[in-house]
Chains A and B, each alone.
Chain A
Amino acid sequence: MIPSIIDIAVVPVVIAASIFLPPLLDGVERKIKAIIHSRIGPPILQTWYDLLKLFGKSILAPRNSLHIMTLILMYAVLSITTLILFLYGIYCNSLHYVIASVALFMMIQALYLTIPFVTSNPFAAIGLSREIMIMLINEIAFITAFSLILYFTRGIYTWSFYYTVLVIVLLISSYVSSGRIPFDLAEAEPELASGILIEFSGPFLGIYHYTSLVKRFLVKIVPSYLVLSLFPLDPYIRVVLVIMFSCILWLLYATIAPLLGRSRVDIAPSSLLKLYTSLFAVALILFILGL
Chain B
Amino acid sequence: MNNDYIEKVITELKARGASDISVSHDTIFVSVESDKLRSLVEYIHNELDCYFRTCGGCDERPINGFFALYHIFGDDKHGLNIVVKTYASSDDPKFPTIVDIVPAADWCEMEAHDLLGFEFTGRRQYRLVLPPNWPKGLYPLRKEVPYNIRPKPSTSGEQISKPTNIAAIPIGPYHPALHEPEYFELYIEGEKVVDVKYRGFHVHRGIEKLGETRMTYQQINFLAERICGICGFVHSTCYCQAVEKAARIDVPERALFIRSIVLEVERIHSHLLWVGVAAHLLGYDTGFMHTWRIREPVMVLAELLTGSRKTYGINLIGGVRRDIDESKKKKALEFLDIVEREFKTLADTLLSIPQIKKRLKETGILPKEDARKLSVVGPVARASGLDRDVRRDLPYAAYKYVDFNVPVYDEGDNMARLLVRVDEVFESIKILRQLLDQIPKGPIIAEDITIPEERMAVSLTEAPRGENVHFVITGRGKPYRWKVRAPSYQNIPALKIMLNGVQLADAPITIASIDPCFSCTDRILVIRDNGEKYWLKLTHPRGGSSCPRSL
Contacts and interface: CB of A to CB of B under 8 A. Distances in A.
Q: Do chains A and B touch in the complex (CB under 8 A)?
A: yes
Given A123-B169, A266-B191, 18 more contacts: A37-B286, A38-B293, A122-B167, A122-B168, A181-B283, A184-B283, A189-B176, A190-B283, A260-B355, A261-B353, A262-B282, A263-B355, A263-B358, A264-B358, A264-B505, A264-B506, A267-B358, A267-B359
A193 B175 contact: yes
Given A126-B191, A188-B283, A190-B176, A261 B290 contact: no
A259 B169 contact: no
Nearest to B167: A122
A184 B359 CA distance: 15
A191 interface: yes
A191 B289 contact: no
10 contacts: A122-B170, A189-B176, A191-B505, A261-B353, A261-B356, A262-B283, A262-B284, A262-B355, A264-B506, A266-B503
A151 to B, nearest CB: 35
Interface size class of B (residues with CB under 8 A): 20 to 34
Given A190-B508, A263-B358, A258 B503 contact: no
B280 A190 contact: yes
A96 interface: no
A268 to B, nearest CB: 9
B169 A190 contact: no
Contact of A191 (B170, B177, B287): B177
Which of B279, B281, B355 has the most chain A CB within a 10 Å cutoff?
A: B355
A275 to B, nearest CB: 13
Contacts of A37: 285-286, 289-290
B255 to A, nearest CB: 39
B508 A36 contact: no
B289 A38 contact: yes
A182 interface: yes
A65 B506 CA distance: 29
A266 B191 CA distance: 9
A44 interface: no
Contacts of B507: 191
A266 to B, nearest CB: 7
Contacts of B293: 38
Interface string B473-505: 000000000000000000000000000000111
Contacts of B355: 182, 260-263
A274 interface: no
B286 A36 contact: yes
Interface of A: 33, 36-39, 122-123, 126, 181-182, 184-185, 188-191, 193, 258-267
Given A126-B169, A190-B177, A190-B508, A264 B284 contact: no
B286 A191 contact: no
A37 B287 CA distance: 8
A163 to B, nearest CB: 29
Contact of B176 (A33, A36, A181, A193): A193
Contacts of B283: 181-182, 184, 188, 190, 260-262
Contacts of A122: 167-170
B284 A38 contact: no
Contact of B284 (A123, A188, A260): A260
Contacts of B506: 264
B359 A264 contact: yes
Contacts of A184: 283
B285 A258 contact: yes
A189 B505 CA distance: 11
Given A182-B355, A267-B358, A191 B508 contact: yes
